[in-house]
Homo-oligomer: A and B are copies of this chain.
């Protein structure tokens, strides 16, 4: 049986993620946000004042990736960095008022994108898909 991109989980995952990212980018662009910035803000809206290392751990990206994303967010006035109280190497990340103000519309945009993407599936199928993706993510995180 020949390898087919239409039945390859990896290929489909890549294609699906690109379409999700494009759709989200379009919806949050009016807020001055890009997708990775939104992901980072999700964590900071839940808990402000995290260090870069904490964000790296929660979002499962490399430290250098997060450093670059945070630099763009600071440039765009979404975050401030303040000295850590006890560890002079670390800098804590705090939201600006601007970042706090766009929480509701940004989350609404992400929910709209998810809804549009899943519109062809029943509620049960949507839950199945999410459950299966979580399992696959867990498997790949485990085996490095």
Q: Which residues of A are in contact with B by a Cβ distance under 8 Å?
A: 3, 5-21, 23-24, 35, 39, 42, 60-61, 107, 110-111, 113-114, 116-121, 125-126, 128-130, 132-141, 143
Contact = CB atoms under 8 A, between A and B. Distances in A.
Contacts of A19: 136-137, 140-141
Q: How many copies does the complex hold?
A: 2
A119 B129 CA distance: 16
B14 A118 contact: no
A111 B35 CA distance: 30
Given A11-B39, A16-B17, 14 more contacts: A3-B110, A6-B134, A9-B20, A10-B114, A12-B137, A13-B13, A16-B136, A116-B140, A116-B143, A117-B136, A118-B136, A120-B136, A121-B132, A128-B132
Given A9-B20, A110-B8, A114-B9, A42 B136 contact: no
